[in-house]
């Protein structure tokens, strides 16, 4: 219940801030000769349209809760996918590791390995992994379940999946779930086992080949965030500026990892300058 309340309250805060700050955005968002990636345009338009129509379903980073009620006998001990190599303990049935991420490329085969932890008796565990490929805040759309392994007593499971061409590029959520004896659903609170969330940054091979690749594959994650953000780009020569809703410059950095712990809760605009390219993204501080 505690976890649910936490998710719900941050959702309400984000919603209130979005609806109360609809006026002053356009002044510094719309400038001449700026190069936006399509995804960023979509995301910015998406947020602006949300401010107007107040569509609750639009705050995609808030995912339905899922957890194991008990980790006394089994839990997720390790997850490996690309740059993610995360050993963990019993995390009270759910852990948010969404600050950990890896790039995955559309059309390429990915391998994920999940290790269970057992206290003593080796029980049958079932595993599911989902990726929110269309970034709409759930794991229920076509192809979003990428792994389903039922009733395994192996020391680990190793599964492959291919990122579909329909996947939206950018940072999105991956959920790893391990449930005692039976496949879990993505929003299930089950009796025994554990759930862990991660971030994958989906990249298109086509985008990697264009003239300004950094501007096309940039992403900012986690978002919403409370302590820091990562600006994900191949270009190390960047300037990152974070503005308040009234257009005041609050943070200026050349780093890819930026401490935002001093910012008040609210919605900000992140401006990323890569040479001649300027990109904007909304950031929700929670
Ligand atoms: Ca764990
Ligand atoms: Ca989805
Ligand atoms: Ca959906």
Taking the CA of 130 as reference, the closest ligand is 2
In a domain, 157, yes or no: yes
CA 38 to ligand 2 centroid distance, Å: 19
CA 262 to ligand 2 centroid distance, Å: 32
Cβ contact 36:46 at 8 Å:
no
pLDDT of residue 109: 86
Where a domain ends, among 145, 174, 203?
A: 203
CA 128 to ligand 1 centroid distance, Å: 15
CA 191 to ligand 3 centroid distance, Å: 26
Rg of the chain over CA atoms, in angstroms? 20
pLDDT of residue 49: 36
In a domain, 240, yes or no: yes
Question: Same domain for 247 and 272?
Answer: yes
Cβ contact 168:202 at 8 Å:
yes
Taking the CA of 137 as reference, the closest ligand is 2
Cα(first)–Cα(last) distance of the chain, in Å?
A: 19
CA 73 to ligand 2 centroid distance, Å: 31
Question: Same domain for 31 and 46?
Answer: yes
Question: Same domain for 51 and 71?
Answer: no
pTM recorded for the entire structure? 0.56
Residues whose CB falls within 8 Å of the CB of residue 166, separated by 6 or more in sequence, listed in order: 133, 134, 142, 143
Block mean pLDDT (10 aa), the chain, length 286: 39 41 33 36 38 38 93 98 97 96 89 98 98 95 96 97 88 97 97 97 65 54 92 80 81 93 89 73 86
In a domain, 75, yes or no: yes
CA 276 to ligand 2 centroid distance, Å: 34
In sequence order, what E strands does 119-218 have? Answer: 125-131, 145-152, 157-162, 170-180, 189-203
Where a domain ends, among 168, 203, 238?
A: 203
Which residues form the domain of 84?
67-203
CA 63 to ligand 2 centroid distance, Å: 10
CATH of the domain at 85: 2.60.40.10
75 token code pair: 């839990």
Place of tokens 């790039």: 103
Question: Same domain for 196 and 104?
Answer: yes
CA 32 to ligand 1 centroid distance, Å: 48
pLDDT of residue 7: 39
CA 115 to ligand 3 centroid distance, Å: 29
CA 188 to ligand 3 centroid distance, Å: 16
């Amino acid at each position: 219940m505690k976890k649910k309340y936490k998710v719900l309250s941050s959702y309400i805060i984000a919603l209130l801030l979005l609806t109360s700050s609809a006026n002053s955005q356009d002044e510094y968002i719309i400038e001449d000769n700026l190069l936006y990636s399509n995804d960023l345009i979509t995301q910015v338009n998406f947020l602006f349209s949300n401010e107007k129509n107040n569509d609750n379903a639009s705050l995609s980073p808030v995912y339905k809760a899922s957890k194991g009620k008990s980790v006394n006998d089994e839990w997720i001990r390790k997850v490996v996918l690309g740059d993610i190599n995360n050993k963990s303990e019993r995390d009270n049935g759910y852990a948010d590791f969404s600050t950990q991420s890896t790039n995955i490329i559309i059309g390429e085969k990915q391998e994920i390995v999940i290790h269970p932890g057992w206290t003593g008796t080796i029980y049958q565990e079932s595993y599911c992994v989902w990726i929110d490929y269309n970034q709409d805040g759930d794991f229920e759309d076509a192809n979003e379940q990428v792994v389903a392994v039922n009733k395994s007593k192996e020391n680990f499971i190793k599964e492959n999946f291919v990122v579909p061409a329909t996947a939206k590029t950018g940072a999105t959520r991956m959920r790893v779930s391990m449930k005692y004896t039976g496949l879990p659903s993505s929003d299930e609170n089950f009796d025994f086992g554990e759930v862990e969330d991660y971030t994958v940054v989906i990249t298109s091979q086509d985008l990697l080949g264009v003239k300004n690749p950094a501007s096309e594959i940039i992403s900012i994650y986690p978002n919403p965030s409370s302590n820091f953000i990562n600006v994900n780009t191949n270009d190390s020569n960047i300037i990152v500026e974070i503005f308040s809703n009234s257009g005041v410059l609050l943070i200026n950095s050349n780093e890819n990892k930026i401490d935002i712990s001093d910012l008040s809760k609210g919605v900000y605009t992140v401006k990323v300058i890569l040479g001649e390219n300027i990109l904007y993204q909304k950031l929700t501080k929670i």
